[in-house]
Amino acid sequence: MWTWFHKLASPPHFYRIAGLTIPAFSWAAGLLVAAGLYGGLVLAPPDYQQGEGFRIFYVHVPSAILSMFVYATMAIAAAIGLIWRMKLAHAVAAASAPIGAWFTACALATGSIWGKPMWGTWWVWDARLTSELILLFLYLGYLGLRSSFDDLQRADRASAVLAVIGIVNLPVIHYSVVWWNSIHQGSTLLTPGAMPIAMKWPALCMLAGFALFYGAVLFVRLRGEVVRRERSAAWLREVLVK
Amino acid sequence: MQDSGRQTGLEARSVHAWRGDRHVIRGLSLRVTPGHCLHLAGPNGVGKTTLIRILAGLIRPEDGSVLWRGEAVGHDPDAFHADTAFLGHDNALKADLSPLENLAFWSALAGRPAAAVAATLGAFGLQACLGLPVRVLSAGQKRRVALARVALSGASLWLLDEPFTNLDTGGIRLVEAQLAQHLAAGGMAVVAAHQPVTPDQGEVRRMELS
Amino acid sequence: MQDSGRQTGLEARSVHAWRGDRHVIRGLSLRVTPGHCLHLAGPNGVGKTTLIRILAGLIRPEDGSVLWRGEAVGHDPDAFHADTAFLGHDNALKADLSPLENLAFWSALAGRPAAAVAATLGAFGLQACLGLPVRVLSAGQKRRVALARVALSGASLWLLDEPFTNLDTGGIRLVEAQLAQHLAAGGMAVVAAHQPVTPDQGEVRRMELS
Amino acid sequence: MTPRQKRIWMVVGIVGGVGLAATLALQAFQDNLMYFQSPTQVLEQPIAGERSFRLGGLVEPGSVTREPGNLEVRFRITDNVEAIEVSYAGLLPDLFREGQGVIVRGKLGADGLFVAEEVLAKHDENYMPPEVAESLRMPPLIKQVEAGGA
Amino acid sequence: MTARPGLWRVGMAVYARDLRLAFRRWEQAVQPVVFLLMVATLFPLALSPEAAQLRGVAAGVLWVAALLASLLALEFLFRADHEDGSLEQLVLSGHPLGWLSIFKVLAHWTISGLPLVLVSPVVATSLAVPASALAVVMLSLLLGTGVLSFVGGAAAALTLGVKRGGVLVSVLTLPLVMPALIFGAQAADLAIMGESARGPLLLLLALLVLSVSLAPLAIAAALRIGVE
Amino acid sequence: MTARPGLWRVGMAVYARDLRLAFRRWEQAVQPVVFLLMVATLFPLALSPEAAQLRGVAAGVLWVAALLASLLALEFLFRADHEDGSLEQLVLSGHPLGWLSIFKVLAHWTISGLPLVLVSPVVATSLAVPASALAVVMLSLLLGTGVLSFVGGAAAALTLGVKRGGVLVSVLTLPLVMPALIFGAQAADLAIMGESARGPLLLLLALLVLSVSLAPLAIAAALRIGVE
Ligand code: HEM
Ligand SMILES: Nc1ncnc2c1ncn2[C@@H]1O[C@H](COP(=O)(O)OP(=O)(O)OP(=O)(O)O)[C@@H](O)[C@H]1O
Ligand SMILES: Nc1ncnc2c1ncn2[C@@H]1O[C@H](COP(=O)(O)OP(=O)(O)OP(=O)(O)O)[C@@H](O)[C@H]1O
Ligand SMILES: [Mg+2]
Ligand SMILES: [Mg+2]
D43 and D80 co-located in one domain: yes
Of the listed ranges A158-167, C30-39, E170-179, E204-213, the least confidently predicted one is E170-179
Cβ count within 10 A of residue C185:
12
Q: Which ligand has the shortest distance to the CA of B171? A: 3
CB distance from C102 to chain E under 8 Å? no
Q: Looking at residue F24, what is its pLDDT?
A: 82
**Is residue C85 within 8 Å of residue C155, measured between CB atoms?**
yes
Q: Looking at residue E83, what is its pLDDT?
A: 83
Q: Looking at residue D140, what is its pLDDT?
A: 47
Name the residue of A104, A185, A206 to mutate for ligand 1: max ligand atoms within 8 A of Cβ.
A185
Q: Looking at residue D143, what is its pLDDT?
A: 45
Q: Looking at residue D144, what is its pLDDT?
A: 44
pLDDT in tens, A159-211: 999 999 899 899 989 988 877 777 888 888 888 888 888 889 999 999 999 99
| pLDDT at D82 exceeding the cut of 60 | yes
CA B142-B206-B85 angle, to 5 degrees, is: 40
D85 and D15 co-located in one domain: no
- Residue B44 to residue C140, Cβ atoms within 8 A: yes
Question: How far apart are the C-alpha atoms of F226 and F162, rounded to whole Å?
Answer: 9
Question: According to the 3-state scheme, what is the secondary structure of chain E?
Answer: CCCCCCHHHHHHHHHHHHHHHHHHCHHHHCHHHHHHHHHHHHHHHHCCHHHHHCCHHHHHHHHHHHHHHHHHHHCHHHHHHHHCCHHHHHHCCCCCHHHHHHHHHHHHHHHHHHHHHHHHHHHHHHCCCCHHHHHHHHHHHHHHHHHHHHHHHHHHHHCCCCCCHHHHHHHHHHHHHHHHHHHHHHHHHHHHCCCCCHHHHHHHHHHHHHHHHHHHHHHHHHHHHHHC
- Torsion D112-D116-D119-D125 (CA) sign: negative
| pLDDT at A52 exceeding the cut of 60 | yes
Nearest-Cα residue of chain B relative to residue D4? B76
Of the listed ranges C3-12, D141-150, E114-123, the least confidently predicted one is D141-150
User: B80-107: string of b/e by CB count within 10 Å (b at 16+)?
Assistant: bbbbbbbbbebbbbbbbbbbbbbbbbbb
Question: How far apart are the C-alpha atoms of E121 and E142, rounded to whole Å?
Answer: 12
| pLDDT at A9 exceeding the cut of 80 | no
**Is residue B144 within 8 Å of residue B172, measured between CB atoms?**
no
| pLDDT at F55 exceeding the cut of 70 | no
Closest protein CA for atom 22 of ligand 3? C49
Number of domains in chain F: 1
Q: Looking at residue B158, what is its pLDDT?
A: 97
Name the residue of C138, C142, C143 to mutate for ligand 2: max ligand atoms within 8 A of Cβ.
C138
Average pLDDT over residues F132-158: 92
| pLDDT at C165 exceeding the cut of 90 | yes
Question: How far apart are the C-alpha atoms of C109 and C102, rounded to whole Å?
Answer: 11
Number of domains in chain D: 2
DSSP assigned state of F148: H
Ligand 1 contact, A173 CB (< 6 A): yes
Compute the mean pLDDT over every residue in chain E, rounded to the nearest whole number: 82
Q: How many CA atoms lie within 13 A of D4 on its CB side?
A: 0
Q: Looking at residue A145, what is its pLDDT?
A: 86
| pLDDT at D47 exceeding the cut of 80 | no
Looking at per-residue pLDDT, the higher value among E3 and C192 belongs to C192
Specify burial of residue E37 (Cβ count, 10 A radius: 0-12, 13-18, 19+): buried
Closest protein CA for atom 38 of ligand 1? A187
Residue-number span of the structural domain to which D138 is assigned: 36-146
| pLDDT at F1 exceeding the cut of 70 | no
Contacts of F27 (CB under 8 A, 6+ apart): E168
Confidence category of residue D22, pLDDT binned at 50, 70, 90:
confident
Confidence category of residue C36, pLDDT binned at 50, 70, 90:
very high
User: What single-letter amino acid sits at C142?
Assistant: K
Q: Which ligand has the shortest distance to the CA of C138? A: 2
| pLDDT at E1 exceeding the cut of 50 | no
Looking at per-residue pLDDT, the higher value among F114 and E69 belongs to F114
Å from CA of F197 to ligand 1 middle: 30
Torsion of the alpha carbons at E42, E43, E45 and E48, rounded to the nearest 10: 170
Q: Looking at residue B209, what is its pLDDT?
A: 92
Residue-number span of the structural domain to which E30 is assigned: 3-227
Specify burial of residue C5 (Cβ count, 10 A radius: 0-12, 13-18, 19+): middle
Of the listed ranges A209-213, B11-15, D10-14, the least confidently predicted one is D10-14
Compute the mean pLDDT over every residue in chain F, rounded to the nearest whole number: 84
**Is residue E38 within 8 Å of residue E72, measured between CB atoms?**
no
Question: How far apart are the C-alpha atoms of D13 and D11, rounded to whole Å?
Answer: 5
**Is residue F38 within 8 Å of residue E171, measured between CB atoms?**
yes
Question: How far apart are the C-alpha atoms of F34 and F29, rounded to whole Å?
Answer: 10
Ligand 3 contact, C19 CB (< 6 A): yes
D11 and D81 co-located in one domain: no
**Is residue A145 within 8 Å of residue A159, measured between CB atoms?**
yes
pLDDT in tens, F57-66: 777 778 888 8
Confidence category of residue A44, pLDDT binned at 50, 70, 90:
confident
- Torsion C24-C30-C35-C39 (CA) sign: negative
Contacts of B81 (CB under 8 A, 6+ apart): B57, F92, F93, F94
- Percentage of chain E lying above the pLDDT 90 cut: 26
| pLDDT at C181 exceeding the cut of 60 | yes
| pLDDT at E108 exceeding the cut of 80 | yes
Q: Looking at residue C37, what is its pLDDT?
A: 96
pLDDT in tens, B112-165: 888 899 999 999 999 999 999 998 999 999 999 999 999 999 999 999 999 999
Looking at per-residue pLDDT, the higher value among F67 and C36 belongs to C36
Q: Looking at residue F58, what is its pLDDT?
A: 75
User: Helix F198-227 crosses helix A152-166 at what angle (to 10 degrees)?
Assistant: 170
Q: Which ligand has the shortest distance to the CA of A108? A: 1
CB distance from F2 to chain B under 8 Å? yes
pLDDT in tens, E14-62: 999 999 888 876 666 677 787 787 777 777 777 755 555 556 677 777 7
For the entire predicted model, the pTM comes to 0.85
Q: Looking at residue E53, what is its pLDDT?
A: 58
Looking at per-residue pLDDT, the higher value among E74 and A138 belongs to A138
CA E28-E29-E32 angle, to 5 degrees, is: 90
| pLDDT at A217 exceeding the cut of 80 | yes
Name the residue of C50, C87, C90, C165 to mutate for ligand 3: max ligand atoms within 8 A of Cβ.
C50
Which of A125, A126, A133 is the best substitution to test chain E (most E C-beta atoms within 10 A)?
Answer: A125
Phi, psi of F224 (to 5 degrees): -60, -40
Closest protein CA for atom 25 of ligand 1? A111
Query: What are the sequence ranges of the domains in chain A?
Result: 18-241
D121 and D105 co-located in one domain: yes
Q: Tell which atom from ligand 2 comes closest to the C-alpha of B47.
A: 18
Phi, psi of E197 (to 5 degrees): -110, 20
- Percentage of chain D lying above the pLDDT 90 cut: 0
Average pLDDT over residues C22-51: 94
Question: How far apart are the C-alpha atoms of F110 and F112, rounded to whole Å?
Answer: 6
D20 and D62 co-located in one domain: no
Q: Between chain A and chain C, how many beta carbons pairs sit less than 8 Å apart?
A: 4
Predicted interface score ipTM higher than 0.90: no
Average pLDDT over residues A74-81: 95
Average pLDDT over residues D27-52: 70
DSSP assigned state of D86: E
Cα–Cα nearest to A214, from A68, A39, A50 = A68
**Is residue B36 within 8 Å of residue B188, measured between CB atoms?**
yes
Of the listed ranges A192-206, C17-31, D30-44, the least confidently predicted one is D30-44
Question: How far apart are the C-alpha atoms of A127 and F27, rounded to whole Å?
Answer: 41
Of the listed ranges C27-36, C181-190, D92-101, the least confidently predicted one is D92-101
Looking at per-residue pLDDT, the higher value among F44 and A221 belongs to A221
D23 and D83 co-located in one domain: no
Cα–Cα nearest to E120, from E135, E105, E107 = E135
Cα–Cα nearest to B64, from B131, B98, B26, B15 = B15
Confidence category of residue B1, pLDDT binned at 50, 70, 90:
very low
pLDDT in tens, E170-195: 667 777 788 888 888 888 888 888 88
Report CA-CA distances (Å) from F79 to A46, A180, E83. Answer: 58, 39, 13
D95 and D59 co-located in one domain: yes
CATH class of A18-241: mainly alpha
